Chain A
Amino acid sequence: MGWLDANLVSILNGLALGGLLFLIAVGLSLVFGTMDVLNLAHGAVSLAGAYVGVAVLSPSAGFGDFVVALLIAAALGLVLGAGLAAMTHMVSGHLRQALLTLGIALVAGDVLREIFGADVESVPAPLGLDGSIDVLGNAYPVYRLVVIGVAAVIALVLYLLLDRTQLGALVRATVADRGMVEALGVRSDLVLAGVFALGAALAAVGGLLAAPVLGAAPGLDDTILLLALVVVVVGGLGSVRGALMGALLVGQVQTVGVSLLPDQASFLLFGAMALVLLVKPRGLFPVQGVSGANP
């Protein structure tokens, strides 16, 4: 029990970070799995969501205001995702997509910096959720517990959506065999645009939820993108379950791992990724038919 007590806060933090990373990364993974598109603008979308919080929320914002902000962020994400889907539609080949989406990310980063300035901006947690409660003798911020809860709920909803609905079946079919789906007469490009938009909406929401913890500043989009890429590769491309497991793993590595091995903190993330890939080269839960690892 002593070990748990000492590290409980870290573990909870890892769950919170993992939850946030899941929200942000699942869109990236799905887009890669369904459309074979490498979207390097994903971090910028997330940061844009965080800046929605900066623009809309004041220090006295309550729970209701926060929900409104989340909806705005989601809508913004949908629009950005649809836009990105359209722009990458005609572009084939991972490298050219990388060129395009990185170009978009650079432009977006500059635009955000122009609008919001270069200072680090704070987004307040909603009033009522900004205190701390006692968890087994440790003070722990309420907000982070809420984040864990929200991420879990969204993960469940996504799972139900993909696994139990007609639409979800369509998406999974498109991942597995796009040609067949086309042959059945479905406009697969619309399905894919929808996936793109949904993924971007989740990323924006994730960015906003993360903002009271991480803030909003230029350069954060690069940090988020790198973490999301690691999560996606560790989890397995195109797999929601993989994104969740990958996110939880990365979350724990970045919190409990850093706590246990502070001197090696800088190397833990990529070290862990390298380790996973050594053992499972296609990630923890790879999806059949996804082209990422194959030529």
Chain B
Amino acid sequence: MTSTSGGPSPTSASIERPTPAGGVGASSSRRSRARLGRLVGLAVFLVLAALPIFLAPYPISLAGRILAFALLVVSVDVLAGLTGLPSLGQIAYFGVGAYTGGLVAIHASDNAFVQLGAGVLVAALVAAVTGAVAVRASGIVFLMVTLAIGELTHKLADGLDAVGASNGLAGIPPITLYPGGEPLVLAGVTYWWVLLVFLIGFGVAATVSRSPLGRSMRGVREAEPRLAAIGQLSYATKLAAYVIAGAIAGAAGTAWTVQTRFISPGDLAFSVSAIALLSVVLGGAGTLWGPVIGAAVVVLIRDWVSGYVSGHGELLLGLLFIVAVYALPNGLAGVASGRLRRRRAAMAGAPVAGEGQP
């Protein structure tokens, strides 16, 4: 299945789709929108960077976990939103990165860059090997294959004594930034490292999205049957997307472990995979930044708000999902881009079986 619910990405320069501002002056309004977009991006970065000044250690650790999870969600969007390959298996590479980072920290080096590098490398490798097989499928079958990859990794982590089995890896030491440096024990400073990893990962995803590879990926998403005639090209594109997504997920995993200093098989459960994919849908598949907001909303409701409704966090999450499907057909990003007018059009056409256009 190559159709997504996120609609066309705002970053795709497509002539067929009129901008909301109308014909004349469309390009200048697009430029000023782009400038405004950059201003917003800068503002968001400043707020995120300033958080440790204002927030206490626990909220900061929550913010750090949100960033790590959001990066995982970005990796899912690279596959689901950009390439049209919804995946339930990114948690596997997240887990590989997290466990690798943890093991490196315990046994080899507490240098943050080393852990990040190791996590990304191993995750990319595993993604390459598993992806070579997985991307031969598409649609629901691809989804189930990635589910299998995710679950098998989960069970592996649960069974391997070398990584702590069901108890997980505890006692992960804090990171240092340079050889011989002080270990970072302050929650706020560790958060800055996590923010840095997030920005790098997001930057990679955004760069890929705007590159020729990104165009190929969107080509696969929109028109795979036609591309299938070309065969090889489609496979190479999908595999490249898969490996990049795996690497980003691995980076997210190392960021997670650095912050929590603990990783257990429960962090690789199927439910996390499902929530990650649904955060993409919630945020607006294909936009990259929409899923980040989706991830933040989901984690805040599940981990923070649920504390106030004693055990009914899942109920809230479920209600959020239901409301979002009806109220936000293009996800949160769709609202932001002023496509509310498009809503009726999007909802009206019932799909013909086999087409599945949003």
Contact = CB atoms under 8 A, between A and B. Distances in A.
Interface of A: 32, 34-36, 38, 40, 89-96, 98-100, 102-111, 174-175, 177-179, 189, 222, 226, 229-230, 233, 237, 266-267, 270-271, 273-274, 277-278, 281-283, 289-295
Most central of A110, A273, A283 by chain B CB within 10 Å: A110
Contact of A94 (B137, B319, B325, B356): B356
Given A90-B347, A178-B352, A277-B144, 4 more contacts: A99-B5, A99-B321, A99-B324, A102-B274
A292 B84 contact: no
Contacts of B158: 266
Q: Summarize B's interface: helix, strand, loop or mixed.
A: helix
B112 interface: no
Contacts of A179: 352-353
B218 to A, nearest CB: 13
A295 B225 CA distance: 7
Nearest to B354: A291
A84 to B, nearest CB: 12
Contacts of B270: 222, 226
B4 interface: yes
**5 smallest beta-carbon distances between A and B, as pairs:** A103-B321, A106-B318, A110-B315, A107-B318, A295-B2
Interface string B181-200: 00000000000000000000
A95 B5 contact: yes
Contacts of A175: 353
A104 B323 CA distance: 10
Contacts of B140: 32, 38, 94, 233, 237, 292-293
Interface of B: 1-5, 80, 84, 86, 133, 136-141, 144-145, 147-148, 151-152, 155-156, 158-159, 224-225, 270-271, 274, 277-278, 280-282, 285, 312, 314-315, 317-322, 324-326, 329, 347, 349-358
A229 B141 CA distance: 11
A95 B80 contact: yes
Contact of B224 (A89, A99, A295): A295
B274 A92 contact: no
Nearest to B346: A92
A270 B145 CA distance: 9
A34 B353 CA distance: 8
Nearest to B3: A93
B225 A95 contact: no
A284 B2 CA distance: 23
B139 A267 contact: no
A270 B134 CA distance: 14
Contacts of B317: 103, 106
28 contacts: A92-B5, A92-B349, A93-B3, A93-B351, A95-B281, A95-B285, A98-B281, A103-B320, A104-B318, A106-B317, A107-B319, A107-B322, A111-B315, A178-B353, A178-B354, A189-B350, A222-B270, A226-B151, A229-B144, A230-B144, A233-B141, A267-B155, A271-B152, A273-B148, A281-B136, A281-B137, A291-B356, A295-B224
A157 B224 CA distance: 39
B353 A291 contact: yes
Nearest to A274: B148
Contacts of B141: 233, 277, 281-283, 292-293
Contacts of A107: 315, 318-319, 322
Given A99-B282, A229-B147, A295-B139, A106 B321 contact: yes
Contacts of A271: 152
A92 B315 contact: no
A277 B139 CA distance: 13
Contacts of B148: 270, 273-274
A135 to B, nearest CB: 33
B4 A93 contact: yes
Contacts of B225: 294-295
Most central of B3, B137, B280, B356 by chain A CB within 10 Å: B356
Contacts of B357: 92
A127 B351 CA distance: 49
B298 to A, nearest CB: 11
Nearest to A103: B321
Contact of B354 (A92, A93, A230, A289): A289
A103 B136 CA distance: 30
Contacts of B224: 295
A294 B139 contact: yes
Contacts of A233: 140-141, 144
Most central of A95, A230, A290, A294 by chain B CB within 10 Å: A95
Nearest to A273: B148
Given A90-B347, A93-B3, A293 B139 contact: yes
A266 B350 contact: no
Contacts of B347: 90
B285 to A, nearest CB: 7
Contacts of A98: 277-278, 281
B139 A102 contact: no
A295 B282 CA distance: 21
B139 A292 contact: yes
